Amino acid sequence: MKIFKFGGASVKDAESVKNVSMVLSSQGFEKCLLVISAMGKTTNELEKVVEMYFKKDNYQTEIEHIKQKHIEIAKGLFSEDHAVFAEINLFFDDIVSFLRRNKSPNYNFVYDQVVSCGEMISTKIVSEYLNDIQFTNQWLDARDYIKTDDSYRDGIVNWQKTEEFISNLNPDICYVTQGFIGSDDNNFTVTLGREGSDYSAAIFAYCLNATAMTIWKDVPGVMTGDPRIFRDVTLLSNISYEEAIELAYFGASVIHPKTLQPLQQKNIPFYVKSFVDPTKEGTKVGASDKNQSEESYILKDNQTLLKIYTRDFSFIAEDHMSLIFNNLAKHKIKVSLMQNSAISLALCLEDKFLKIEELNNELQKIFKTDVIKNVSLFTVRNAKMENIDKFYQEKNVLLEQISKNTLQMVTL
């Protein structure tokens, strides 16, 4: 079975949805499972709904705006009397109904119940359109198959249950399902982390023993740098799982960090290809004697630099480290880079749940701290060390670290 994942940009409007069918025509639609993201910027718009709800603003107007956008997309794909319009209305009525009756003050719980609707609506539209043009498929609710704990906005997959459910699918037919979402033991929706649709595709690929998984993007494949940021970047046509994992960890936006591990475990080839020109080869990730190790550039913005010092100039010892990292784990703050000396620890952090102030308040009970927000982490993978001076030009470097073949610097 083949797994294809289409992101929001590939289904942002009616013409884009039609293009999905063109991609499928070029690749073959037999024994295929499609994982589809929310359309365009719908996730961002639904995040705004959640923010407005907790601020007691007029979120209903925003919901109506999002609904009308989806209706307009559907008008470009279906006749006016098509049943899909009733489905769209029902999904948005469910959002309004949930928010009206909700009593939970848990932001992350409410977020998952609302924001996940973007994927539900997009997949229903795509599935119905493909069926109408004779790409016969069955729509699946991913929440019935991907089971997680109740870590809302960052669900941890229960692999035993998930594999049990997914393995019951018929490998001889085609499916359309959602990325980004699963459900807990109480069948409440749990999202897998922002940009988690790639991970969803990898979960289905692993559990179905897929022959290959392909992510369709608006770029030719994995590049040596984001072409919107860096000049003279080139395509990486073949890279190893290990290299892809390193690039994803350092922040390469084209690959979700969790995606590679399940694929590597079963040696499932992973392709990143362009939905603009699906005939191009793109990038293959997997075991190959053609794998490349080219100098690559990654920039992660919106990072926080946290410097921690002992108050009495004693060493940062193991018990200190344990306390610090337990607090990081509690607040779900990710360490992008760390560097320690005898009496200090510097951490470049990714704070996607906006918990840095709470973390800092707790640490200040024991340590002295400095917090610098809105820094960037610049990484050069497979760096040519004889030419690294050029990377320091016109940069205010707050922290740097050089390993055997990787240069990293935190800049303001």
Residue 12 CA to residue 19 CA, distance in Å, equals: 11
pLDDT at residue 39, as a whole number: 97
Assess whether pLDDT exceeds 80 at residue 253: no
Assess whether pLDDT exceeds 90 at residue 40: yes
Q: Which tokens is 143 given?
A: 């929440």
- Structure-derived torsion over alpha carbons of residues 79, 83, 87, 89, reported in degrees to the nearest 10: 60
Of 42-51, 126-135, 143-152, 380-389, the range with the lowest mean pLDDT is: 380-389
Task: State the alpha helices, DSSP H only, in 42-116.
Answer: 42-54, 59-75, 84-101, 107-115
pLDDT at residue 288, as a whole number: 80
pLDDT at residue 195, as a whole number: 76
Residue 310 CA to residue 314 CA, distance in Å, equals: 6
Q: CB within 8 A of 292, min separation 6: which ones? A: 236, 237, 238, 239, 243
pLDDT at residue 93, as a whole number: 97
Q: What pTM does this model have? A: 0.91
Q: Which tokens is 181 given?
A: 């979402």
Residue 366 CA to residue 252 CA, distance in Å, equals: 35
Q: How many CB atoms sit inside 10 A of residue 393's CB?
A: 6
Domains of the chain, CATH where assigned: 2-217 (3.40.1160.10), 297-411 (3.30.2130.10)
pLDDT at residue 97, as a whole number: 97
pLDDT tens-digit series, residues 3-36: 999 999 999 999 999 999 999 999 988 899 999 9
Q: How confident is the model at residue 194 (pLDDT cuts 50, 70, 90)?
A: confident
Place of tokens 């055997």: 404
Amino acid at 302: N
pLDDT at residue 29, as a whole number: 82
Q: How confident is the model at residue 250 (pLDDT cuts 50, 70, 90)?
A: confident
Of 50-59, 78-87, 205-214, 311-320, the range with the lowest mean pLDDT is: 311-320
Assess whether pLDDT exceeds 80 at residue 298: yes
Count of CA atoms in the C-beta half-sphere (13 A) of 272? 25
Relative to beta strand 181-183, strand 189-191 is antiparallel
Residue 164 CA to residue 261 CA, distance in Å, equals: 19
Tell me what the mean pLDDT of segment 308-317 comes to: 88
